[in-house]
Amino acid sequence: MKDFNPTQKFDKIEHNGLEVRNLNIHIGDVHILKDVNVTIPKNKITCIIGPSGCGKSTLLRTFNRIIDTTEGVKIDGDVLFGNYNIVKSHGSKLIELRRHIGLVPQRPCPLPMSIFDNIAYGCRIHGIRNKEKLNAIVEHYLRNIGLWDEVKERLHTPASRLSGGQQQRLCLARSLAVEPSVLLADESTSALDPISSKKVEQLFVDLKRDYTIVIVTHTLQQAQRIADNVIFMYLGEVIEQGTAQEVFNNPQKELTKRYLNGAFS
C-alpha cells in the first residue's frame, strides 16, 4: 500500500467515527431496531454479529441512509459523524454524505462495463474527465486492492469476465475510488470461496489504517480473525459491545455467552 494518495481529488471529512444515539427504526408497524446506542471508533474494524434477522443489515444500511429505499421505514434518533447528523441529512448534504460512507455490496456486482470504467465511473459522476487523471486513479486503486497485476493487460475488457473473488475486489476498488472515510460491508465475503474470502478480509485489515470499517460478518470466525471492536445484536437490540478482546474473551451478558457457544446458529 502506498503512503499517500497521489490521486486525491476530494476533501476529506474531519471525524471521530460514528456515534449512534437512541436509534429506533420501524418498518411499517414493526419495531426493527430498538433504542440502539453504539460507538464506531475511527480507523478500526467494527464487526456487527448476531443471529439472522436481528437487525445487522438494517443498522449498517442506516449509516449511509440506503435504508431510505425501504418502503415504510421510519427512523428516529441520531447518528453523528463529523459535523453531520446522518439521520437528519437531506438533499445535497445526503449526496455528500454518501460519498464519505461507501457500501461494499454483499455479492460482487460489477457494472456492465469494462474493468477500467467500473473504477472510473464514480469519479466521472463527480466531475473528473481528465484522461490522465482517470488513468492514474484506476491504476492506483487496482494496485491498492492487489488486482493490478492480474488485470493490467485487459483493463478494457468486461468486468463480468473476472472471477467472483476478483469481482468483489473490483467492487471494493470502485467504492474506494470516490475516497470515502467509512467503509460499510454487509457479508461481503459470503459468496466467495475461502481463498478469495481471506484476500478480501486481509484487504480490510490493510485498509483500516486509512478507513473506518464496519462489517456485518456471516461467520463468528471471521469476526474473531479481524474485529477490533464487536457489536452483538439480538432481536433488534444491541446486547453487548466492546473490544473484540472484551466481547469474545470476557462477555458480560448471558445471551452473548450463549451466542458465542453456538446456541443460535
Given a contact cutoff of 8 angstroms between Cβ atoms, the answer to whether 189 and 221 are in contact is no
DSSP, res 256: H
Residue with smaller CB distance to ligand ADP, 60 or 120: 60
Measured CA to CA, the distance from residue 116 to residue 159 in angstroms comes to 8
221 binds, among ligand ADP, Mg ion, none (CB under 5 to 8 A by kind): none
56 belongs to the binding site for ligand ADP (CB under 6 A): yes
Q: Would you count residue 265 as binding ligand ADP (CB under 6 A)?
A: no
Q: In what order do the strands lie in the sheet with 73-81?
A: 30-40, 18-27, 73-81, 84-85
Q: Give the shortest CB-223-to-ligand ADP separation in angstroms.
A: 13
Binds 52: which of Mg ion, ligand ADP, none (CB < 5-8 Å by kind): ligand ADP
Helix locations, the chain, DSSP H? 56-62, 91-100, 115-125, 131-144, 148-151, 164-176, 194-207, 220-226, 244-249, 254-260
- In this structure, what C-alpha cell is assigned to residue 104? 461494499
Span interacting with Mg ion, options 31-39, 56-64, 114-122, 257-265, rule CB under 5 A: 56-64
Binders of ligand ADP among residues 60 to 89 (CB under 6 A) are 70
One of 5, 16, 57, 219 touching Mg ion (CB under 5 A) = 57
Q: Looking at 51-59, 98-106, 156-164, 246-254, which segment touches ligand ADP (CB under 6 A)?
A: 51-59
The one-character DSSP state at 110 is: -
Query: CA 104, 107, 110, 111 torsion: positive or negative?
Result: negative
Task: Rule CB under 6 A: choose which of 3, 6, 29, 52 binds ligand ADP.
Answer: 52
For residue 55, state whether it binds ligand ADP (rule: CB under 6 A): yes
Q: Sketch the per residue contact string, 11 through 50, with ligand ADP: x for CB under 6 A, - otherwise.
A: ----------------x--x-x-----------------x
CA dist 213 and 198 (Å) reads 16
Distances (CA, A) of 18 to 106, 127, 138, 159: 22, 28, 29, 33
Residues of the shown chain interacting with Mg ion in the complex, contacts defined by CB under 5 A: 57
Residues of the shown chain interacting with ligand ADP in the complex, contacts defined by CB under 6 A: 27, 30, 32, 50, 52-58, 70
